[in-house]
Structure 1
């Protein structure tokens, strides 16, 4: 069986500054969800990925990731935001506190 990925065409989706501001928060959230899953499976931090020993160098807080690792999470967040908008959803920022 051959798998051919077919993501939504989001090329026409423009992200407003409010929506773009969500990117970093969603990227950090995506990393934390991934890390929780790994930790629940018995993985722990290690300087190199080792599937047998279940160690991974990215099991650190988002702020401590390399820029390339953060960029992977940012692209995931941006892809989700664009897909939501392409599907017709709206994203409305919360009202200012106070």
Structure 2
């Protein structure tokens, strides 16, 4: 438990299986997640750097989504997967 006793309780989406036809949407969403993250960092004064440096505000992921290592793309994909699964879990349909 953390300092302020906050315990996250996300909706359990483990029973939701994404249909394969959503893969292009998933990838587009992942790219957009990265673009939004990068845009916000740049607004905050961050620039590209080979190694992350919080003092100098350098970050190695301030590059195009397509150029990211797969492990970094997976981070953005996971955010998108959970968003899509939540939409379906809440009863909405994507068509």
| TM norm structure 2 | 0.91
**Paired residues, what number?**
92
Q: What's the counterpart of residue 6 of structure 1? A: 9
Q: CA offsets, 1:25-57, max 9 Å, x none?
A: 111110000000000111100011111111100
Indicate yes or no: 2:55 matched with 1:62: no
Alignment gaps of 5+ in structure 1: 93-98
Give 1:89 deviation, angstroms: 1.2
Indicate yes or no: 2:11 matched with 1:19: no
Q: CA offsets, 1:8-38, max 9 Å, x none?
A: 1111212112223311111111000000000
| TM norm structure 1 | 0.88
Alignment gaps of 5+ in structure 2: none
Q: What's the counterpart of residue 30 of structure 1? A: 33
